[in-house]
Amino acid sequence: MQKPVVNVMVKAARAAGNVLLRSMHKLDAINVVEKDRMDYASEVDEQAEQAVIKELRRAYPDAAFLGEEGGAQGKKSNAVFVIDPLDGTSNFLHGFPHWCVSIALVENGEPQHGVIFDPLRNELFTASKGSGAVLNDKRIRISERKDLAGAMLITGFPPRERERAPAHLECVRELLLHAEDIRRTGSAALDLAYVACGRADGYFEAGVKPWDIAAGVLLVREAGGRVCDFRGAATGPMDARGIHGRQLVAGNQKLSAELQKAIVQSGYAVAFA
């Protein structure tokens, strides 16, 4: 049975999903701003975030929030809802059907509850620390692939990290000597959810922020997986203290170690020294 807070988070994610679904047929009329070089947000992102916060505040009026669009809001607290109202904004704006809503409740920097909702497929991923991970009421587990041979991997090319693209591409080249293939889907939250349910074997990306990964990291862990940075260390706090971009590797215990080792051997980890 889902925790009461997860039920509220699911309701909030569905509210945001409805905002996004209503807007996807009028993309030409949406106002878009460039937050940074090749990093975009739209009025729909903001509307979806407002829908999430409105729903969460009904149940938790004194809650603290950290949203991709609105930043930190509410009272200072060790517990904060970390929100990405539209993970995959570029996909959404291009009409590419791969984006989601991501919400996590983070306490002292660690995610305790997470929800990732894909409105287009009506897929709802949920997790609570110590209680496992679920997709549409069915328990999920990470893939059992033991090494990179034949692995399906996912990565991302974030706009904030383009100066390191040569090292990233060299890493991809080396990985493709062993892996079956590498995907670049455009939504870190869904990437992690797909690793958690075994649709992909591993994931790595740099430049991700707390709202991109907090819910997905918990899903991977609760599905039996592991997350770390490019050097194998634990990822930092997933609240306002960790607002900077970071590197992330995810997979089962054995494959994540192999993937992290390959990233180091390729020289990509050195780019972040």
Contact assessment for residue 147 and residue 201, using Cβ atoms and an 8 Å cutoff: no
User: Closest Cα partner for 83 from 69, 99, 98?
Assistant: 69
| CB burial string 153-184: b at 16+ within 10 A, e below | bbbbbbebbeebeebbeebbebbeeebeebee
pTM for this prediction:
0.93
Average pLDDT of the residues in 165-185: 95
* C-alpha count within 13 angstroms, C-beta hemisphere, residue 155: 23
The per-residue pLDDT for 38 is 44
Contact assessment for residue 215 and residue 114, using Cβ atoms and an 8 Å cutoff: yes
Structural domains in the chain, CATH included, are 4-139 (3.30.540.10), 152-272 (3.40.190.80)
Q: How far apart are CA 2 and CA 91, in angstroms?
A: 30
Flag whether pLDDT at 40 surpasses 70: no
Contact assessment for residue 104 and residue 238, using Cβ atoms and an 8 Å cutoff: yes
Distances (CA, A) of 137 to 123, 132, 194, 219, 220: 10, 11, 16, 14, 16
Which residue type sits at 208? V
The per-residue pLDDT for range 66-91, each reduced to its tens digit, is 988 888 888 888 899 999 999 998 89
Flag whether pLDDT at 115 surpasses 50: yes
Q: Which segments within the chain are labelled E, that is strand?
A: 32-36, 39-42, 64-67, 71-73, 79-87, 100-107, 110-118, 123-128, 133-135, 138-139, 152-155, 181-183, 202-208, 226-228, 246-251
Distances (CA, A) of 269 to 190, 205, 207, 215, 231: 24, 11, 13, 24, 7
Cα three-residue angle 106-109-115, rounded to 5 degrees:
30
The per-residue pLDDT for 273 is 65
The per-residue pLDDT for range 190-235, each reduced to its tens digit, is 999 999 999 999 999 999 999 999 999 999 999 999 999 999 999 8
Flag whether pLDDT at 183 surpasses 70: yes
The per-residue pLDDT for range 138-164, each reduced to its tens digit, is 999 999 999 999 999 999 987 777 788
